[in-house]
Chains A and B, each alone.
Chain A
Amino acid sequence: EVRLVESGGGVVRPGGSLRLSCAASGFTFGDYGMIWVRQVSGKGLEWVSGINWDADSKGYVDSVKGRFTVSRDNAKDSLYLQMDSLRAEDSALYYCARSQTRYFDWLPDCWGQGTLVTVSS
């Protein structure tokens, strides 16, 4: 069974940092692009970042460029999102998702359950 499990969310003060992780199982992780999507409670979806299968190409939404860094460890079947200089507007439920292809800009076919990030003083 294909499974994605996010972790690392929590409460952090503005300007702080968090590192989200996404543990993959049930498939060959290194064969797929991966994506982070966030959702503010009761609001819509926002694509945050993506990374190709070999980590050679990455993308970010403009609002997180220079603050967030996506990475992966194919040997550990894991995806990461390092979030620095956090702002209140980064508070959201963060989902990781698997792309249908090796490239992050394609459709997802599997999602995790999400991990909640709250940025508050």
Chain B
Amino acid sequence: EIVLTQSPATLSLSPGERATLSCGASQSLYNNYLAWYQQKPGLAPRLLIHDASSRATGIPDRFSGSGSGTDFTLTISRLEPEDFAVYYCQYYGRSRWTFGQGTKVEIK
């Protein structure tokens, strides 16, 4: 079973700063089937990135994904006030999903 480990657990930044979130897999991900979600309190998760680097429909271009194999990164180029939330990575496409434990991006 693949385990996804996200780091850091919490990222304290100011609006306008760059955020770099990491997701490490315990083994190489098939076809780089790695997604990133954003979740705000009381709401369902929102898909940001799929296939490691493809932005989902309607997602601003300040969000970008990169990586392959076992190491993946979500970058938010300049944090907007609405970007402060929890972010999850997810492996999909092989009969079951796996989520990372999440990274909280909080206002410094």
Contact = CB atoms under 8 A, between A and B. Distances in A.
Interface of B: 35, 37, 39, 44-45, 47, 50, 88, 90, 92-102
A45 interface: yes
Interface residues of A, number: 20
Nearest to B99: A45
Contacts of A111: 44-45
A46 B102 CA distance: 11
Secondary structure dominating the interface of B: loop
Contact of A105 (B44, B45, B92, B99): B92
A106 interface: yes
A44 B98 CA distance: 11
Contacts of B100: 44
A109 B47 contact: yes
Interface of A: 35, 37, 44-47, 50, 59, 61, 95, 97, 105-109, 111-114
20 contacts: A35-B97, A44-B99, A44-B100, A45-B39, A45-B88, A45-B90, A45-B102, A47-B99, A59-B95, A59-B96, A61-B96, A105-B94, A105-B95, A105-B96, A107-B47, A107-B50, A107-B92, A109-B47, A111-B44, A112-B44
Nearest to B88: A45
